[in-house]
Amino acid sequence: MLFEHSKCKKCNHLNPVYKSICEECKSYLRERVVNIDLWNTIQLIIEEPSKAFRLILFAEHKNFILILTFLIAVKNLIIARFFSVPQLGLNGVSSSFMLSLGLILIITFLLLNIFSLVQKSVYKKQKFQLRFKDIYSTTSYSFVPYLFALVFIFPVELVVLGADIFSNNPFPFQIKPLITYILIGFEFICILWSFYLIYRVNFIITSARLYSILISIALGFIWFSVLLISTKFIFII
């Protein structure tokens, strides 16, 4: 259980989950976690996500969060560009890359912040003592599989499809249907995996299965709806 170390065994004071020392009697509650070990955390997200998210919550310094946010924004830009293909095709983009990246970075930052603030409000009503940075960090690390698609799948797409990756005349699946659908399948798996992790971290915190399922579905719907809407302006300003 996430909150098993929150209650002090000496004075019975209920501490916030991120505290390693009792607020009342100063007894040790658990082993101190200073920083997030990136590679170990990524490995745990794959093998033992519950343990990974506990360590992220326990960590005093939520390092690598800005890097993750930036990489999530880059992945969002690529997905938004794919969404824009039917309308813009290969040569319909008029905005500079840096402008589009800047806009999607703002959008990504707002999405993560708004979601974290909403979650913080919900947790507060349920008497779960978590800080904004705890929620933001667990949400950001939930997108590690999302970034697997950026690091491992997108380069393969570029090699296999080349300039035709953003073509709408013909579409990539008309040029190389089998490999295109396989790559799309892997992308879809990475996306589902990330939103499954959103569910897992919420279930770890609340133990409410239905709420955790609904919040992960809601975030996924809002996330990709915003990316779809963003294609109306980020590539043609």
Cβ atoms 99, 174 nearer than 8 A:
no
Residue 128: its pLDDT value, please?
83
Residue 199: its pLDDT value, please?
97
Residue 20: its pLDDT value, please?
82
Residue 29: its pLDDT value, please?
81
Residue 2: its pLDDT value, please?
64
- Torsion angles phi and psi, residue 10, rounded to 5: -90, -45
Ranges of residues in the chain with a pLDDT under 70 are 1-5
Q: How long is the chain?
A: 237
* Interval 1-29: pLDDT, tens: 566 557 788 888 888 888 888 888 888 88
Q: Residue ranges per domain, the chain? A: 1-32, 36-230
Residue 126: its pLDDT value, please?
85
